[in-house]
Structure 1
Amino acid sequence: MTSTLARTPGATTRARWPGSSVASQILVLTDRSLRALVREPQLVVFGLMQPVILLFLFTQVFANLLMTPHFPQGISYVDYLVPAVLIDNAVQSSLQSGVGLVEDLKNGVVSRLRSLPIQPASLLIARSLSDLCRSAVQIILILVLAIALLGYTPKGGVTGILISIGLTLVVSWALGWVFLAVGTWIRKAEPMQTINGIALFPLMFASSAYVPVADLPAWLQVVARANPLTYAVDATRAVALGIPGSAALAPAVVISAVIVIVSFGFAVLGFRRPLTP
């Protein structure tokens, strides 16, 4: 004997709530991170310390010493250095992205968020966007200080400055994903700090940031030409100062895009691992 369950007239099947959209999740989580940044403005100030100290130290102490044979004609060392300092700040901000993620993993914030119907990628994207906003504020402050106190005069005009800022932010976002990926796999603050120190100086000093590549030792020229930051610094400097070298703009953007795609994949894979061993 079989029976059929009769559907009550007017009854409807309640659909399972799938959660908010990914865009809404990213917006809310980014807003959360930015509010924390507003409550702790010292994070922006402390992040500015090394680039600003570097800017003043190099321009006031080493300017005459670093005017090498292949130095661009008609360009002061202040003008030459400021675009490199902007990229240096981008590197610093990207390093802090990984450290900040590790801290959230340790203090339980990520555990609470992962108990909600939130896509793991949304958490990572929101972290990267909030750090990008912090980097943008720092870049503007560095430019204001350089123009007001050191006489920075970019001959590329407003357009050149805007393009250089945009490229710097692209580089900062790309490198931020690298260290987010590293943070999701290491998950310990001490190794992250060590990696930060090891990565920063070779990336910046083995590039065209402070002297032209042609004036570096032969073996270091090989390293500098293979260093992605050389393309970023050259392109940023060229568009800001209106000098030859803007051809590096396209390679810098392409390299940054490849870094984002690869690092994003590794970051999501690492983030999906269980929070406890």
Structure 2
Amino acid sequence: MTTTTSTLAPSRQGEVASTGPRNLARDILIVLHRELRPLLRDPFSIMFGLIQPIIFLALFGPLLVGSLGGAAEGALGESVWQWFVPSILVMTALFGTSMTGSNLLFDFQTGAHERMMVTPLSRPSLLVGRALKEMVPLSWQAVLIVVVMLPFGFTLYPVGAAGGLVILAIFGVGLGSLSYALAIAVRKQDWMFWVVQQTFIFPVMILSGMLLPLETGPHWMQVASKFNPLTYMVDAERALFGGDLTNPDVLWGILAALGTAVLGLAVGIRMMRRSAD
């Protein structure tokens, strides 16, 4: 009884002490710094993360240019790459943040999660800090991808690109939090994490129109895409990276990102608290 009380006390005190925007921001920075340290020691992992988007750009992009050149150019009035590169950035964020729960599974195995839960850190900071960590390499990768694609006809609109990355970060916090919630739910059967993640991610990706425009697809797919938050994210990123800041798709993308973040944090924080019981 005495041991249980002393273990839970710091956790409860941390939730009280970390209330308020200033303390929450401090806690998020602490968690973010902790999560970034392994990445800073191994910067080659960022380059390794570029392999998948580069493969899609190098192999799938030319097929898109050849088969859908006119249709894709009509979407933004510029090159096909202006239509496709933002999709690749969203895809990178989707894969990166949806897999963050695997890091938590490793923390469960090593006991690191239990040690974090008894520190005076707020529960939201444990989720937000970890999810934001995935957006740091994404930002670096986005810069490298844009630089690589400039000679191929991609036009950079700095203000729109910066806004697009901010929206992706908000979306990534929500999706990363849901990934952590999934990891907590299946921590006793960790193989289930990958089953659920893979089952979820590919239908959502295809139904967003990320790789191919859905206008030429069956009607049921077009209807289903309207209920997919990623659809609005992709449309918003294309508008922003195309320099069209006043496009209504931008507002819908912001709402989709905020909705995902609110849902993810609500579910993730609840699961995080339950994991301490």
Give the TM-score category using the shorter length.
0.7 to 0.9
Whole-angstrom distance in 1 between the partners of 2:179 and 2:203: 16
Question: Which position in structure 2 is the counterpart of 1:57?
Answer: 59
Whole-angstrom distance in 2 between the partners of 1:261 and 1:240: 25
Deviation track 1:174-226 (CA, whole Å, cap 9, x = no partner) reads 32222122222222542222222222221221122223331122121111222
Whole-angstrom distance in 2 between the partners of 1:68 and 1:227: 26
Deviation track 1:112-135 (CA, whole Å, cap 9, x = no partner) reads 222333333332222122222222
In the alignment, structure 1 residue 94 sits paired with structure 2 residue 97: yes
Alignment of 1:19-98 (within 5 A): 21=18, 22-23=23-24, 24-67=26-69, 69=71, 72=74, 74-98=77-101
Whole-angstrom distance in 1 between the partners of 2:112 and 2:148: 36
Q: Of Structure 1 and Structure 2, which has the larger fraction of its residues in helix?
A: 2
Conservation of the 8 A alpha-carbon contact between 2:72 and 2:83: no
Q: Which moved more, 1:181-190 or 1:64-73?
A: 64-73
Larger-Rg structure: 1
Question: Which position in structure 1 is the counterpart of 2:184?
Answer: 184
Alignment of 1:189-200 (within 5 A): 189-200=190-201
Deviation track 1:27-79 (CA, whole Å, cap 9, x = no partner) reads 22221111121113343233322222112111223421233657517432222
The number of residue pairs the alignment matches comes to 257
Conservation of the 8 A alpha-carbon contact between 1:231 and 1:252: yes
Q: What are the ranges of 5 or more consecutive residues in structure 1 without an aligned counterpart? A: 1-15
Whole-angstrom distance in 2 between the partners of 1:266 and 1:255: 16
Alignment of 1:1-277 (within 5 A): 21=18, 22-23=23-24, 24-67=26-69, 69=71, 72=74, 74-148=77-151, 150-154=152-156, 157-187=157-187, 188-242=189-243, 246-274=247-275
Normalising to structure 2: TM-score of the pair? 0.81
Normalising to structure 1: TM-score of the pair? 0.81
Question: Which position in structure 1 is the counterpart of 2:7?
Answer: none
Matching residue's letter, 1:56? A
Cα 1:72–1:243 shift into 2, 3 Å: farther
Whole-angstrom distance in 2 between the partners of 1:145 and 1:190: 37
Whole-angstrom distance in 2 between the partners of 1:43 and 1:233: 26
Whole-angstrom distance in 2 between the partners of 1:70 and 1:140: 23
Conservation of the 8 A alpha-carbon contact between 2:53 and 2:88: yes
Superposed displacement of residue 242, structure 1: 3.9
Superposed displacement of residue 244, structure 1: 9.5
Matching residue's letter, 1:235? A
Question: Percent of pairs identical after alignment?
Answer: 27
Deviation track 1:131-176 (CA, whole Å, cap 9, x = no partner) reads 222222222222222225x33224xx22222222222323222322
